[in-house]
């Protein structure tokens, strides 16, 4: 599975359930959200703008998705909605690795750049960073309709948050 296949396999609506740990505060919690993942064309305005912002060539080799989330189904928690654009360009010599850029649709959110790698089981590791934040995420499919995800976030010189997600694909009727 290459990055394009991974993104294509991720397209759809998902129910995401997470457990997270704030390491510095020794606090934990859980939550759920509706996630929608859609492919974006290489010539889409968001893709071109993100590629320009990080100096990536928006060529036909670009794979990109828009990830939108809505946690309004999480009763009793503050409502959070948002979206992010991810752009990946595989390395010419090894399509299982490459560059990645991410921009959350929020004025204060930094553009994150980094790299991805796909292992022999089809799981992907995304490492992105800005001047202040380092994020490492691993995503894999237990089956076609169940994605699992872990994330680690480092602020400064230490990890500040860890999370585990299970994401169940919503089937249309």
pTM of the entire predicted model: 0.90
CA distance 7 to 24: 33
Q: Coil, helix or strand for 72?
A: coil
Residue of higher predicted confidence among 130 and 16: 16
The pLDDT tens digits of the residues spanning 11-62 come to 999 999 999 999 888 889 888 999 999 999 988 999 998 998 888 877 768 9
- All structural domains of the chain with their residue ranges: 3-169
Q: How far is CA 23 from the centre of its chain?
A: 21
> Is residue 104's pLDDT more than 70?
yes
Structure tokens at 14: 């998902």
The pLDDT tens digits of the residues spanning 131-147 come to 888 999 999 999 999 99
**Residue 48 exposed, middle or buried by CB count within 10 Å (0-12, 13-18, 19+):** middle
Residue range 3-169, CATH number: 2.40.128.20
- What is the residue-averaged pLDDT of the chain? 90
């Amino acid at each position: 599975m290459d990055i394009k296949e991974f993104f294509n396999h991720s397209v759809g609506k998902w129910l995401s359930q997470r457990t997270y740990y704030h390491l510095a505060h020794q606090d934990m919690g859980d939550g759920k959200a509706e996630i929608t993942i859609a492919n974006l064309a290489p010539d889409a305005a968001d893709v071109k703008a993100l590629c320009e912002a990080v100096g990536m060539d928006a060529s036909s080799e670009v794979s990109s998705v828009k990830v939108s989330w809505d946690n309004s189904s999480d009763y009793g928690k503050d409502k959070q909605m948002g979206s992010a654009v991810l752009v990946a360009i595989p390395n010419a010599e090894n399509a299982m690795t490459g560059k990645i850029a991410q921009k959350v649709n929020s004025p204060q959110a930094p553009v994150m750049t980094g790299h991805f790698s796909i292992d022999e089981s089809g799981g992907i590791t995304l490492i992105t960073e800005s001047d202040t934040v380092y994020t490492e995420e691993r995503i894999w499919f237990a089956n076609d309709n169940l994605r699992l995800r872990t994330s680690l976030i480092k602020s400064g010189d230490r990890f500040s948050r860890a999370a585990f997600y299970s994401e169940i694909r919503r089937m249309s009727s």
